[in-house]
């Protein structure tokens, strides 16, 4: 009988392969055969045990899942025409549908579950255990949300739907970027680059991306993806260059994707247009000291923080992935089997000499 094999986390950096019985599917449930799982900074935090769901172990990490529908339970609900064999992306949040957050469309803020159901953050003690992407199979309950991937898009490209969805959500839906507006993206990682793609699609007037000297490779990719200019914040004067690139007015939306550092938020106030918005989406693990509140006040600025994405942004992102087939391979730099998760995360963190990582994917294969 077929069983699922999953990489199960027991402690910081401590993982073991375990087998699980495939679940019996109830009405509306779906079993996805995982093909690929994208990694992001939150995988690094979870790997090291720094995330806020740390107590919920053992668990199967991985929340950027693309795969093929292997089986479906009795169809008591409308799955928008999805059938066995369709390639899908899995919304990382399983929302209840009836709490106040869900009712205003904030699925990632759902408070309706006793156990928080976010892929990669659910202990294996919650039936049927398969709640993560570092696995051959993932379980999707009747209220789990799936997005059909067009046949022209392969599973590796499909995982990029997640960082690009963030770009739509943070820069446009929440940041309020309008046609012709200027966007400054702090940090050239996959989320920052996803924002470049989203902003171009949305008709941004100017898009500028910042990075460190060691990010040169990513800054070059930003230019290839449609950024008008890039700033190396180590060799250039960030504020002077930002103002120069925005006709002395500053940027309408500034999106901070940088992890851990708070100085980019403080520094960006000087680069903000009057009435502009600073969006914070990078986890900092520290407090914001030194924020120039008076300057921000007189600029009538907005500081906004939004984790996660909404359904609309996921859909826009999947459309963008499907309509730009050649572009995704510029973002995806590495693919590893799930037995090399540690290597994959080291590469993602930029700790492997000679490896320039943007989007790193793990697949449920054994490479060694």
Q: Whole-angstrom Cα distance, residue 195 to residue 191?
A: 6
For Zn ion, the binding residue among 44, 68, 96, 335 (CB under 5 A) is: 96
Q: CB of residue 103 vs Zn ion: minimum separation in angstroms?
A: 8
Q: Whole-angstrom Cα distance, residue 37 to residue 134?
A: 7
183 binds Zn ion (CB under 5 A): no
362 binds Zn ion (CB under 5 A): no
95 binds Zn ion (CB under 5 A): yes
For Zn ion, the binding residue among 66, 89, 110, 360 (CB under 5 A) is: 110
Looking at the Cβ atoms of 308 and 364, the one nearer to Zn ion is: 308
Q: Whole-angstrom Cα distance, residue 151 to residue 79?
A: 18
Looking at the Cβ atoms of 102 and 357, the one nearer to Zn ion is: 102
Count of chain residues binding Zn ion (CB under 5 A): 7
Listed ranges 83-91, 108-116, 134-142, 292-300: which one lies at the site for Zn ion (CB under 5 A)? 108-116
Q: How many H helices and E strands in the chain? A: 12, 15
- Non-local (6+) Cβ contacts of 344 within 8 A are 39, 334, 336, 360, 362
For Zn ion, the binding residue among 8, 32, 34, 40 (CB under 5 A) is: 40
Name residues contacting Zn ion, limited to 247-306 (CB under 5 A). Answer: none
Return the CA Rg of the chain: 20
Location of structure tokens 């199979």: 137
102 binds Zn ion (CB under 5 A): yes
Looking at the Cβ atoms of 126 and 239, the one nearer to Zn ion is: 126
Looking at the Cβ atoms of 112 and 337, the one nearer to Zn ion is: 112
Closest to 4 (Cα-Cα) out of 117, 138, 155: 138
112 binds Zn ion (CB under 5 A): yes
> What is the SS3 assignment for 295-359?
HHHHCCCEEEECCCCCHHHHHHHHHHHHHCCCCHHHHEEEEEEHHHHHHHHHHHCCCCCCCCCCE
44 binds Zn ion (CB under 5 A): no
99 binds Zn ion (CB under 5 A): yes
Location of structure tokens 């949305």: 202
| Contact residues: Zn ion, CB under 5 A | 40, 95-96, 99, 102, 110, 112
């Amino acid at each position: 009988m077929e069983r699922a094999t999953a990489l199960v986390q027991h402690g910081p950096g401590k993982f073991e392969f375990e087998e699980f019985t495939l679940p019996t599917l109830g009405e509306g449930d779906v079993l996805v055969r995982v093909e690929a799982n994208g990694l992001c900074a939150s995988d690094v935090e979870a790997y090291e045990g720094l995330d806020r769901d740390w107590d919920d172990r053992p668990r199967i990490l991985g929340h950027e899942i693309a795969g093929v529908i292997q089986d479906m339970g009795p169809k008591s609900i409308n799955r928008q025409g999805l059938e066995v064999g369709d390639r899908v992306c899995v919304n990382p949040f399983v929302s209840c549908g009836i709490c106040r957050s869900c009712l205003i469309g904030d699925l990632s803020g759902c408070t309706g579950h006793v156990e928080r159901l976010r892929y990669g953050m659910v202990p294996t003690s919650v039936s049927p255990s398969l709640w993560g992407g570092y696995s051959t199979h993932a379980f999707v309950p009747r209220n789990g949300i799936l997005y059909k991937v067009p046949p022209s898009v392969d599973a590796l490209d499909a995982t990029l739907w997640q960082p690009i969805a963030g770009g739509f959500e943070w820069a446009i839906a929440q940041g309020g970027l309008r046609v012709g507006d200027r966007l400054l993206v702090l940090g050239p990682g996959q989320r920052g680059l996803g924002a470049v793609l989203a902003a171009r699609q949305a008709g941004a007037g100017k898009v500028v991306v910042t990075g460190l000297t060691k990010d040169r490779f990513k800054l070059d990719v930003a230019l290839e993806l449609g950024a008008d200019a890039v700033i190396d914040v180590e060799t250039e004067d960030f504020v002077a260059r930002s103002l120069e690139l925005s006709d002395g007015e500053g940027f309408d939306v500034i999106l901070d994707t940088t992890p851990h550092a708070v100085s980019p938020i403080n520094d960006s106030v000087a680069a903000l247009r009057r009435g502009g918005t600073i969006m914070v989406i990078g986890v900092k693990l520290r407090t914001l000291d030194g924020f120039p509140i008076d300057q921000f006040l007189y600029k009538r600025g907005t500081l906004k923080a939004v984790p996660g994405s909404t359904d609309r942004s996921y859909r826009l992102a999947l459309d963008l992935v499907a309509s730009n087939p050649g572009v995704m391979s510029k973002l995806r730099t590495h693919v590893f089997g799930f037995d090399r998760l540690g290597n994959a995360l080291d590469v993602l963190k930029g700790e492997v000499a000679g490896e320039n990582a943007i989007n790193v994917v793990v697949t449920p294969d054994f490479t060694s």
